[in-house]
Amino acid sequence: MTNPESQIESDNMIMESRDALQELRRSFIELYAAIEADVEAPQDVARRFGLNRNLTWKLSRVITAENPFAALNHLPGNQGITLALQAIEKGGAPRAAVSQVERALEEFQRVVEAHADDRAQLELTLEAAGLLAREAGFESGRELAFRGNSAIWGVQAKTRLSFAVLGPNKSDESLCDIAHVGGIIGVRRLRPQTEWRLFHIQQHDETGTAMAQLFRPQPLEPGEPDGMPGLISGFSSPSVPHIDIRRHSSGVEFMLPAGPVGKSGVFDAFIGFAVRNLPRYRNAENPSGSIATLVSMPYERSVSDILIHRKLLPTGGLSAKLYGFPHGGLDTPVAQTVKNELPMTERIVQLAGSPPAVAMSHVPRYGQLLNHVMKRMEWNASEFVGYRLVMDHPPMSSKIVLKWDLPERP
């Protein structure tokens, strides 16, 4: 149960931090106006007042930040700000304008001391609340977790791909079919004895009931009797090791056995399955549809893509949620509640073009993979609309869910 006093303290921290940062930005804006400095030319400000160019660049980014919290990515330390103010005042800035910045800095420091041990702790708290998104060049909590989990568990990968295509069923307009490709690019063992789950194929309705028996997934590739079920060999590395298959009541696990460490053992693996005759319209057990990307190992990034036929486009659009499973156990829809929802700043974007332009540097031959899947499903890619969610250093163990409401039966 949430502690009301803790919630109030958290809200106070957010409001006071936002107000203090906004006041600090406002005071810098007025200082720059007083000295007629161009915020878009930090190098000129550096030359004019004898300051380090990196320092004036940071000040410019603070002033032009999208919002107060984004300014934290570039806000110099107290010593750097003090040096800048001394040089700017010496160069002719009015004392009143400089004093405004000094008072704003003092207020921000008071907020830090009131709500956190130091500024780093405040930033971490704001990031955990989903209010501070780290920019390129800054180590986020997720990136640090990726590196730490890689060292702890002895395995990592470059990219986790979840690629789904939702299209109409050929024989019954009240049904639909889906093809789902799971890919892991750049799998690397850091310890030779590491065994790890690469994929977990599951199907559940909204109540958490397993649907694998009712709607049995069929591999997109015919495969060989002694091969890996569902492996798309034409896009996987020739060096893919033999994967242990474990079947249980809720799905199928694909387990990576122990093997070579480092570059010699790096590989890409893609598996693909089709599920046909799924309900197109909502019912009591299934008011919505969704696809999920399971984050079960340290990834540098995840890519969740879905292509939807124009006839099946949801009127309410798609939503994205990130669910964590800190205590282990079920990762079925019944466990996906607001209580274990994690904050995220990433947003779904629509892919351009017709067919949708899926190509990206993180997934080799992605356009060819799309064509391959469409050919298997006997669909025309130009009749589909694509959506994408990219997340850097997704937290493990978690699940990224793209969801949409199913329409009422006409």
Question: pLDDT digits over 248-304, tens only?
Answer: 766 677 888 888 877 778 899 998 999 998 889 988 777 888 888 889 899 999 999
In a domain, 286, yes or no: yes
Does residue 15 sit within a domain?
yes
Q: Does any domain span residue 45?
A: yes
Comparing 410 with 399, the larger pLDDT belongs to 399
In the prediction, which pLDDT does 388 show?
96
Q: Does 354 map to a domain?
A: yes
Q: Are residues 384 and 298 in the same domain?
A: yes
Structural domain includes residue 79? yes
Which residues neighbour 34 within 8 Å (Cβ) at sequence distance 6 or greater? Answer: 93, 94, 97
Question: Are residue 183 and residue 101 in the same domain, yes or no?
Answer: no
- Tell me how crowded residue 112 is: count the other CB atoms within 10 A of its CB: 20
Say whether both 260 and 299 belong to one domain. yes
Residues 390 and 278 in one domain: yes
Structural domains counted in the chain: 2
Q: Which residue has the higher pLDDT, 192 or 268?
A: 268
What pTM was estimated for this model as a whole?
0.68
Q: Residue count of the chain, please give it.
A: 410
Residue 254 lies in a domain: yes
pLDDT in the model for residue 21: 94
Which of 76, 96, 128 terminates a domain? The answer is 128
Average pLDDT of the segment spanning 170-191: 91
* DSSP character at residue 113: H
* Same structural domain, 221 and 180: yes
Tell me the percentage of the chain whose pLDDT exceeds 90. Answer: 50
- Sequence-distant (6+) residues with CB within 8 A of 115 are 9, 12, 13, 16, 17, 122, 125
The reply to whether 136 falls in a domain is no
pLDDT at 216: 73
Helix (H, G, I), strand (E, B), or coil: what is residue 339? Answer: helix
CA distances to 108, 303, 386 from 271, rounded to whole Å, are: 51, 15, 20
178 phi, psi to nearest 5 deg: -140, 140
Could you tell me the pLDDT band of residue 70, with boundaries at 50, 70 and 90? confident
- pLDDT recorded at residue 135: 64
Residues 96 and 209 occupy one common structural domain: no
Mean pLDDT of 151-164: 91
Are residue 120 and residue 191 in the same domain, yes or no? no
Question: pLDDT band at 191, cuts 50/70/90?
Answer: confident
Range of the domain at 323: 141-405
Q: Are residues 268 and 309 both part of a single domain? A: yes
Give how far the C-alpha of residue 344 lies from the chain's centroid of Cα atoms, to the nearest Å.
7
